[in-house]
Amino acid sequence: PDPAEVPGLYDAASRGGSAFYSYRVSKQHYIGATYQYQELLSYPAPGANETQTHGAFLFYTYYPSPRLSFSLFGGPQYYSAGPQYAGVGFSTVPAAQSWSPAGGASLNWQVQHSSVAVSYLHSVSGGGGLIGAVELDSANASVRQRITHNLSASLAGTYANNGVLAVSVLGGHSVSGSASLQRQVGQHVSLQAGYTRLHQNYSFFAVNPDTNREWVSISYQFARPLGR
């Protein structure tokens, strides 16, 4: 609500969609392809910055055991950015289009009451409050523990390094940690509440705000096989 408290950070929005096809090669091996579209917006005065991306990725998943899986994905990502307002002290950056590689990996392990997930991602993504879309490198880790039949707890941590596409000097990094509780209500509905601590460090700005976030979510989930 008060941009003066966080100079250099702005309102932002993103929209997108994806579609994928997966094929089971054998009991332990899956391959597939994904298409992803994103529209990434930020609102530094006096205008708005918009970037659109199209990505086509191949992926491979390996199950050495039913409780352990390892996945890789990669492919080209095309981005198109309109004229970008680069903030105070910078001139407007002309429109630009380019190709960029994207990829990532993840490891998931699950036992009866616990699960662990670790992942890495390199991609063009939303800037999370920076002046425009960024080239993102992020690492994530999470642990989930089932407490009762309907209640579970999670801990997660993320490190992200961002470089703004238009003006790389405006990049930096962020570190966050979160804790949450999730309760299943019936077959399809779940309730979740959590707390996140976020630290941001962007070298160009004198102020690097730390943020405390408390949140609640309600989710409804369903799945139905095609053809039935």
pTM listed for this prediction: 0.84
Element (H, E) at 202: strand 189-202
- Inform me whether the pLDDT recorded for 97 exceeds 60: yes
List 198's β-bridge partners, or say none: 176, 211
- Inform me whether the pLDDT recorded for 89 exceeds 60: no
Looking at residues 77-93, what average pLDDT do you find? Answer: 75
- Inform me whether the pLDDT recorded for 133 exceeds 60: yes
